[in-house]
Amino acid sequence: MDGTLNGSLNMIGYGLAAIGPGIGIGLIFAAYISGVARQPEAQSRLQSIAILGFALAEALAIIGIALAFVLS
Amino acid sequence: MSAIGSVSIRSEGGESFHAPGPADFDLPAIGGGHDTFTMFGQDFVAGFTKPMLQIIVSALVIFVFFYIASRKRAMVPGKLQFVGEEAYGFARNSLGRDIIGSHDFARFVPYLFTLFFFILLNNLFATIPFIQFPTFSRSGMVYGLAILSWVIYNAVGIRKHGFVGYLKLQCVPAGIGGPMLLLLIPLEFMSNILVRPVTLALRLFCNMFAGHLLLILFALGGEYLIVEMGGAYAPVGVLAWVLFILVAFLEILIQFLQAYVFVLLNAMYIQGALADEH
């Protein structure tokens, strides 16, 4: 194919920026899973903590996507 | 819009493919609105759009459903009453009682319950056939909810601790003294008072926006690969459509999770505002 691709480097930048929160969210849920596996009765308490950590780590990815659209 | 919405790919002699962007979310007004006005330096079209209609429909659907489900209140619940009770119990126990604590949670249950099902249904509109537009992919809709929650958790805290006491609770971390406070007080003020509503709104908005954009991309890209490119590219287009279906299921999970996270964070902010001094 003799194709051309035009676009913005912002998207690649955002893709790179999403790696960090991705690793962070993975670590959070890995810790949550092993915590529940060791102590199943603590699940209800661990769950809200894990979701809070997930939300905070995800905020970074969200700031990234907002900046990818704002900066040009 | 910005440069991110202007990606285009050209095949040999064929029509060029324009990647979907933020402009795809600017739905025309129902019945056509032609009056424009300027606010905050941007042009707006005066009219009634699909997300506005969805907001009203969702409120009506939730009201009617729970009204009918709670009307009979039989001792042995029927199917509908069972669903209603389970839904209410979920919001009351896992969002209210477990987070805010058994002492204060009762007066916040109506707010948390309403908020959860309002956000959940509006998110699920992205998946329900023939609607297929997440209401909260329009940022203005989310700002309303975020301002509401900001007012509520601050008002609750100020009423309990007084204005100065509340600011002290939110901005002065316990167990730290000396010059570190000079650094920490502005940071805590930024994070607990100023940034919270912004991240609350952006989290819901960006998840709905990005998810819907991804679905548009898979659908249109697959269609372009099959129809315009053809030949060896057609199987790739079919693969894109398979991924479209799989990602749509992932989106259902995310829609539920985001409604849960939004209400969970609301409950946590209220709990933080109500907490006793350390």
pLDDT digit string (tens) for A31-65? 999 999 999 999 888 988 898 888 888 888 877 87
Residues of B whose CB is below 8 A from A68: 4
Return mean pLDDT, chain A: 85
**In 3-state terms, what secondary structure has residue B106?**
helix
pLDDT digit string (tens) for B70-112? 888 878 888 888 899 999 999 998 888 888 888 889 999 999 9
pLDDT confidence band for B144 (50 / 70 / 90): very high
pLDDT of residue B197: 92
pLDDT at B176 over 90: no
Q: Containing domain of residue B108, as a range? A: 3-274
pLDDT of residue B8: 64
Closest CA to A27 of A4, A59, A1, A58: A58
pLDDT of residue B1: 38
Q: How many domains does chain B have?
A: 1
Q: What is the chain A residue with the closest CA to B100?
A: A48
pLDDT digit string (tens) for B108-140? 999 999 999 999 999 999 999 988 999 999 888
Please, how many CA atoms are within 13 Å of residue A3, restricted to the half-sphere of its CB?
14
Length of chain B: 278
Which of A58, A67, A70, A71 to mutate: most B Cβ within 10 Å? Answer: A58
Total H helices, total E strands in chain A: 3, 1
Q: Which domains does chain A have, with CATH numbers?
A: 10-70 (1.20.20.10)
Query: Residue B13 region, left (φ>0) first, then alpha (ψ -120 to 50), else beta?
Result: left
